[in-house]
Homo-oligomer: A and B are copies of this chain.
Amino acid sequence: MASKNKAGPAPAWQATGAATLIDVARVAGVSPITVSRALNQPELLTEKTLAKVAAAVLSTGYVKNMVAGALASNRSKLVALLLPTIANTIFADTVQAATDTLAASGYQVLLGLSGYETAREEALVETILSRRPDGIIITGTSHTELTRQRLLQARIPIVETWDMTPTPIDMLVGFSHEAVGAAMAAGLLGRGYRRFAILTLDDPRGARRNAGLVAALTEQGVTVVNTDTLPAPATMPLGREGAARLFAAPKKRRPDVIVCSSDTLALGAMTEAASRGLRVPEDIAIMGFGDLHYAAHTVPPLSTVSIDGAAIGRLAAQRLLDRFNHVAMPAAMRVTDTGFQLLQRGST
């Protein structure tokens, strides 16, 4: 071994900036593969060897390079999380829970925000797949044919979320939006409302909730008197304007209840009602969706459908982890219905 005294020149890794596994190996006096094992499967090595490596890691300031590791091992320890948007929405809890669950097992999250157009999702999926994630959590079940194909060809576990379908790509954690619509219909009909208006975003899942609502109403001989479809994203002013239009409609199209596709729109509608001196729910009832944390604290408290977003994130992540670890998964577990809760509060 070359003498390495105080007078010697700075070692290579110090000059270059980034120490590699090889630098660590050299300093520790072992082979590179031993360093790799010390970091990834320490149980295979002697205490003594581990100590040598640990010291070398410290003295070199070595930081693992997972890019090289991923290429060599064909496992990236990366999970892609695809959502329409994260701003002002119900998905935040899902992201938090999924990230936490995955992090606990050493996986990191690659975030993809796809907007609400399937075309953008298509492009995003291609980019994301180029990172070779070990698994994917994707929002919704309606994707373009190309997206489905690519996802399938990637041959990695996929979890679709926040929706329900009999034909998932792979696994699924969510709930039925049609069922949500039907539950709203039942709850509101039960309270005596008969003149329904819908204030909705231009969003596929919202559309399916509306379809479920309309179907259940039709079954009872009740028809929707008015529908206003708004461009995403949901904002309160948007909800307020939409409600204003509904209130201004000719008398025979004026509702006694407004079903909104999100709490945010609903809160806007409540504001508009208040500004017109309309009492909620006596003059006009209002229902939201999402159970954002303020929903119970509006005046009157907002009726809404509560979704456990954190549970969805946690379960979706867990399904992936189980697959990674080759845990046996009965066919029934590939689809998990997390359900929802219809909360009738003061506004209906």
Question: Given A100-B113, A113-B96, A113-B100, does the pair A236, B131 have CB atoms closer than 8 Å?
Answer: no
Are A267 and B297 within 8 A (Cβ)? Answer: yes
Which of chain B's residues has its CB closest to A107's CB? B127
Chain B residues with Cβ below 8 Å from A103 are 113, 124
Tell me, in angstroms, the Cα distance from A129 to B65 when the chains sit together.
8
Considering only residues 110-159 of chain A, those with a C-beta below 8 Å from chain B are 110-113, 124, 126-132, 150, 153-155
User: Known: A96-B86, A108-B127. Contact between A17 and B68, CB under 8 A?
Assistant: no
CB <8 Å contact, A130 and B63: yes
Residue of B nearest to A240 (CB): B297
B71–A67 touching, CB < 8 Å: yes
- Given A65-B132, A86-B95, A87-B93; 11 other pairs, CB 8 A cutoff: A63-B130, A66-B132, A67-B67, A67-B71, A67-B131, A86-B96, A99-B113, A103-B113, A108-B131, A236-B293, A299-B299
Smallest CB separation, A72 vs chain B (Å): 9
Interface pairs A-B: 5 shortest CB-CB: A87-B96, A64-B130, A111-B111, A66-B130, A109-B111
Minimum C-beta distance from A295 to chain B (A)? 9
Contact with B along A37-63 (1 / 0, CB 8 A): 000000000000000000000000101
Which residues of B lie under 8 Å from residue A111 when comparing CB positions? Answer: 81, 95, 99, 108-111
User: Is A89 in the interface zone, CB < 8 Å from B?
Assistant: yes
Please tell me if A210 contacts chain B, counting CB pairs below 8 Å: no
Distance A17 CA – B155 CA, assembled complex (angstroms): 8
Interface residue A34 (Cβ < 8 Å from any Cβ of B): no
Chain B min CB distance to A60 (Å): 11
- A347 interface contact, C-beta 8 A: no
9 A-B residue pairings within 8 Å (CB atoms): A17-B155, A63-B150, A67-B67, A85-B96, A87-B95, A108-B111, A236-B297, A294-B294, A299-B299
Task: Tell me, yes or no, whether A161 is within 8 Å of chain B by CB.
Answer: no
Closest partner residue, chain B, to A106 (CB atom): B127
Residue A303, interface by CB 8 Å? no
> Chain B residues near A66 (CB, 8 Å)?
130-132
Residue A227 is within 8 A (CB to CB) of chain B in the complex: no
Q: Is the CB of B93 within 8 A of A92?
A: no
* Chain B residues, Cβ within 8 Å of A76: 67
A68-106, CB under 8 A of B: which get 1 and which 0? 101100001010010001111100110110011001001
Question: What is the CA–CA distance of A70 and B67 in the complex, to the nearest angstrom?
Answer: 7
- Complex Cα–Cα for A128 and B96 (A): 17
